[in-house]
């Protein structure tokens, strides 16, 4: 029996002999690699925190102490140590373990995240709550990566935490020098100076030796540690930064030396005030294919071959088309620059960066800054293209509204992973943008239905110079191309029908709308299909088209509340066109993780389901169909 099998609860881990911990770490790594090779997932980040997570659970008493993982993508080891090793094979599968902390899964999971840079704020609040309730024995512990530490919220939290010297709150900076790519910016340079210096090994030894000697209680202990640190301070300037913020600093600690991490955490815990423990780890540690993976150390690989490290081929995707197109646009337009929030490769901007290295800005995990910095670039005479995942744009709503749109600035935002993404669960689905973007005055919003339209609409978007434009597309493989049979204003007519139903197909929903139309035809219901291409502003031609039909059905891969369907209904109301409008989209709830296609099927976004629902709707409204109910069941 392996050691991991004996750990049903963190308490069991505390009883494992120190000499057995390297064996446990090796077991965990094997399980991480063999599982993620099959399921895909966040391998590199988790391989890097094996010893750190073991040490955390040996030192703290979860769930009485609260262990928080920023972003949450590196919580697999935590899951394994909190009674979920037996279920680990179900990772990221429908009904199985989530790829992030999940409150439904375990009392040891406190927050459900995946959006970076929030954990310190949660920890701040928890520590304040413990204090106010007199629960003085409890400690809030947050692990945050060097990447997540580039996010503005983390610094807002640090500022507050530094203001409350009485709160027992431990911030573990898991510094592996990388987000996906190497982490950028002044903070990253500070940290990397510390890591890269030739005297780093010497420093680790010095800290380790001194940690071994100091007593394990209270502030006097910290003063001893402080003395150690002051000694280091002479050698390394960068750590002064945290001290200058007023936060106690312990480190740097070799994050793969479990006893050293444990010792540092015990001392930090004993201090009973806010402490930063700076831990140096290697992303992908212990699996050579991850460690040597230049692009992102297997940050989140597809399923892969364990021996060769070769990932399952990714299909030609929307991201690839955007990537190619950006290089072309860059050649034609010297004023076009691009911004990524620490996701150069996943957003497809790497090719642009290679072609035009002076025109790419990686701003770190800082979507708010990305948008307002884009506004500045636009004020300076450039046309920025900001590429982010749709769900992360939520962060920067106010910046897009007030800093870009109010100033009518030419900024193009490109939203990848729009609509249902699936495997990453509720926080990753890009189901908010179609609703929140409808609120922004002067913003133009394009939704391409296929690769041809993505090229077309991206070109049209960067040509807009009097306000922001957005292009959004989903995760994964490109759909089949659907050619227009005509044009209605700016809209593409995909299928001409008689005046029964007008299907408004929002971008990639065109495919299922065409399927539905064919099925409806077989039921004797004629459907016209239009793709508006621009869902904001909506084309006036839609009013005329709608008034010529008995029912309008809008189909979108966004939340139903406030989305395109609602915009169409409002437009028709305002024009006094009295045609019923049905909206089909993502129900306004948090969707559990599952495969994207499975979720789309479950929520009725398939040709067959649409046809069924529209048939029912028509039947409810049409006297003809009511008189001939048999037609409904054909
Ligand atoms: C707000 C937000 N923007 C972007 C991302 C995408 N993202 C996920 S993990 C990651 C890098 C995280 O780096 P770090 O915090 O250093 O953790 P590591 O993976 O290196 O352990 C990024 C950019 C995100 N999760 N949240
Ligand atoms: C944690 C995070 O935000 C990313 O790592 C994300 O999970 C990647 O998603 P994709 O696999 O769709 O690029
Ligand atoms: Mg990192």
What's 317's DSSP letter?
B
Mean pLDDT lowest for which of 165-179, 187-201, 588-602? 187-201
**Residue 268: how many CB atoms within 10 A of its CB?**
29
Span from the CA of 174 to the centroid of ligand 3 (angstroms): 7
- Residue 125, annotated as binding a ligand: no
Pocket residue to mutate for ligand 2, from 44, 48, 73, most atoms within 8 A of Cβ = 73
Pick the CATH number of 45-72+103-291 from 3.40.640.10, 3.40.50.970, 3.40.190.10, 3.50.50.60: 3.40.50.970
Indicate whether this complex's ipTM tops 0.95: yes
Question: Most distant CA pair in the chain: distance in Å?
Answer: 90
Instruction: With a cut of 60, say whether residue 450 has pLDDT above it.
Output: yes
Question: Nearest 5°: phi and psi at 387?
Answer: -110, 115
Averaged pLDDT, 310-316? 93
Query: Taking a C-beta distance cutoff of 8 angstroms, is the pair 251, 48 a contact?
Result: no
Instruction: With a cut of 50, say whether residue 225 has pLDDT above it.
Output: no
The CB of 150 under 6 Å from ligand 2? The reply is no
> 267, 272, 395, 475: which is the annotated catalytic residue?
395
Best CA proximity match to 414, nearest among 537, 533, 322: 322
**Residue 591: how many CB atoms within 10 A of its CB?**
18
Instruction: With a cut of 90, say whether residue 196 has pLDDT above it.
Output: no
pLDDT given at position 623: 60
Atom 3 (ligand 1) nearest CA: 365
Span from the CA of 71 to the centroid of ligand 1 (angstroms): 6
The CB of 424 under 6 Å from ligand 2? The reply is yes
pLDDT given at position 632: 32
Average pLDDT, the chain: 91
**Topology of the domain covering 486-633:** Rossmann fold (3.40.50)
DSSP symbols for 211-277: HHHS-SSHHHHHHHHHHHHHHHHHH-STTHHHHHTT-EEEEEEETT-HHHHHHHHHHHHHH-S-EEE
Q: Which helix (H) or strand (E) holds 581?
A: strand 581-586
Would you call the peptide bond into 537 cis, given omega within 30 degrees of 0 as the criterion? yes
The CB of 416 under 6 Å from ligand 2? The reply is no
Instruction: With a cut of 70, say whether residue 124 has pLDDT above it.
Output: yes
**Tens-digit pLDDT profile for residues 232-276:** 444 444 566 777 778 899 989 999 999 999 999 999 999 999 999
Comparing 45-72+103-291 with 321-472, is the CATH topology the same? yes
The CB of 178 under 6 Å from ligand 1? The reply is yes
Averaged pLDDT, 489-510? 96
Question: How far apart, in whole angstroms, are the C-alpha atoms of residue 173 and residue 143?
Answer: 6
How long, in residues, is the chain?
634
Is 8 considered catalytic here?
Answer: no
Averaged pLDDT, 427-433? 96
Tokens for 93, please give them.
């599968």
Instruction: With a cut of 50, say whether residue 222 has pLDDT above it.
Output: no
> If pLDDT is split at 50, 70 and 90, which confidence band does 113 have?
confident
What order do you get walking across the sheet with 275-280 strand by strand?
Answer: 66-69, 140-145, 169-175, 275-280, 248-254
- Which sequence spans correspond to the domains of the chain? 45-72+103-291, 321-472, 486-633
**Tens-digit pLDDT profile for residues 568-598:** 999 999 999 999 999 999 999 999 999 999 9
Tokens for 53, please give them.
């997570």
> 58, 92, 272, 283: which is the annotated catalytic residue?
283
- Residue 289, annotated as binding a ligand: no
Question: How far apart, in whole angstroms, are the C-alpha atoms of residue 375 and residue 360?
Answer: 15
The CB of 346 under 6 Å from ligand 2? The reply is yes
Instruction: With a cut of 60, say whether residue 626 has pLDDT above it.
Output: no
Counting ligands in written order, the one closest to the CA of 175 is 3
> If pLDDT is split at 50, 70 and 90, which confidence band does 36 have?
very high
Query: Taking a C-beta distance cutoff of 8 angstroms, is the pair 148, 178 a contact?
Result: no
Q: How would you class 23 by CB atoms within 10 Å of its CB: exposed for 0-12, middle for 13-18, buried for 19 or more?
A: middle
**Tens-digit pLDDT profile for residues 1-16:** 799 999 999 999 999 9
Averaged pLDDT, 551-563? 97
Question: How far apart, in whole angstroms, are the C-alpha atoms of residue 67 and residue 86?
Answer: 21
Is 105 considered catalytic here?
Answer: no
376: alpha, beta or left, given left = phi > 0 and alpha = psi -120 to 50? alpha
Q: Which CATH architecture has domain 321-472?
A: 3-Layer(aba) Sandwich (3.40)
Instruction: With a cut of 80, say whether residue 379 has pLDDT above it.
Output: yes
The CB of 73 under 6 Å from ligand 2? The reply is yes
Is 367 considered catalytic here?
Answer: yes
Tokens for 436, please give them.
């929140």
What's 81's DSSP letter?
I
């Amino acid at each position: 029996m392996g050691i991991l099998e004996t750990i049903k609860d963190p308490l069991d881990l505390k009883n494992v002999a120190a000499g057995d911990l390297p064996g446990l770490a090796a077991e965990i790594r094997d399980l991480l690699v063999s599982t993620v090779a099959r399921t895909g997932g966040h391998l590199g980040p988790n391989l890097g925190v094996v010893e750190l997570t073991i040490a955390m659970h040996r030192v703290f008493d979860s769930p009485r102490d609260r262990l928080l993982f920023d972003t949450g993508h590196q919580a697999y080891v935590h899951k394994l140590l909190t009674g979920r090793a037996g279920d680990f094979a179900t990772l990221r599968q429908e009904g199985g373990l989530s790829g992030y902390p999940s409150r439904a899964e375990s009392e040891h999971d406190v927050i459900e995240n995946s959006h970076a840079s929030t954990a310190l704020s949660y920890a701040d609040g928890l520590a304040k709550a413990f204090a106010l309730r007199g629960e003085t024995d409890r400690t809030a512990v947050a692990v945050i990566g060097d990447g997540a530490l580039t996010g503005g919220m983390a610094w807002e939290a640090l500022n507050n935490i530094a203001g409350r010297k009485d709160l027992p709150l431990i911030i573990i900076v898991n510094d592996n020098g990388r987000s996906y790519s190497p982490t950028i910016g002044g903070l990253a340079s500070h940290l990397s100076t510390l890591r890269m210096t030739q005297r780093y090994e010497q420093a680790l030894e010095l800290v380790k030796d001194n940690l071994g000697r100091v007593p394990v209680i209270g502030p006097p202990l910290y003063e001893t540690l402080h003395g150690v640190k002051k000694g280091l301070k002479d050698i390394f300037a960068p750590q002064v930064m945290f001290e200058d913020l007023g936060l106690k600093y312990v480190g740097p600690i070799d994050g793969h030396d479990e006893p050293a991490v444990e010792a540092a955490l015990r001392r930090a815990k004993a201090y009973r005030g806010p402490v930063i423990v700076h831990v140096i780890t290697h992303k992908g540690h212990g699996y050579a294919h991850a460690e040597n993976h230049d692009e992102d150390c297997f940050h989140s690989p597809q399923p892969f071959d364990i021996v060769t490290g070769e990932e399952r081929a990714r299909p030609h995707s929307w991201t690839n088309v955007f990537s190619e197109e950006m290089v072309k646009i860059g050649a034609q337009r010297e004023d076009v620059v691009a911004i990524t929030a620490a996701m150069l490769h996943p957003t497809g901007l790497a090719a642009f960066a290679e072609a035009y290295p002076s025109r790419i800005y990686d701003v770190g995990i800082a979507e708010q800054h990305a948008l307002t910095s884009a506004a500045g670039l636009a004020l300076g005479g450039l046309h920025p293209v900001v590429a982010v995942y749709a769900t992360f744009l939520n962060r920067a709503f106010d910046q897009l509204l007030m800093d870009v749109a109010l100033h009518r600035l030419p900024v193009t935002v490109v939203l990848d992973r729009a609509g249902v993404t699936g495997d990453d669960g509720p926080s990753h689905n890009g189901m908010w943008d179609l609703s929140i973007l409808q609120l922004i005055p002067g913003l133009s919003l394009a939704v391409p239905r296929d690769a041809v339209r993505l090229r077309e609409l991206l070109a049209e978007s960067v040509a807009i110079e009097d306000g922001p434009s957005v292009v959004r597309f989903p995760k994964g493989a490109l759909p089949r191309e659907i050619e227009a049979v005509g044009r209605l204003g700016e809209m593409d007519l995909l299928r001409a029908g008689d005046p029964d139903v007008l299907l408004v197909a929002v971008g990639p929903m065109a495919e299922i709308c065409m399927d539905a139309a064919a099925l409806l035809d077989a039921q004797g219901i004629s459907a016209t299909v239009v793709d508006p291409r621009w869902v904001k502003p909506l084309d006036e031609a839609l009013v005329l088209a709608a008034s010529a039909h008995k029912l309008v059905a809008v189909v979108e891969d966004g939340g139903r509340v406030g989305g395109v369907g609602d915009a169409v209904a409002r437009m028709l109301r305002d024009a006094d066109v009295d045609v019923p409008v049905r909206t089909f989209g993502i129900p306004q709830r948090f969707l559990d993780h599952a495969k994207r296609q499975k979720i789309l099927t479950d929520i009725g976004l398939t040709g067959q389901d649409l046809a069924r629902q529209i048939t029912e709707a028509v039947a409810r409204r049409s006297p003809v169909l009511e008189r001939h109910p048999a037609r409904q069941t054909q």
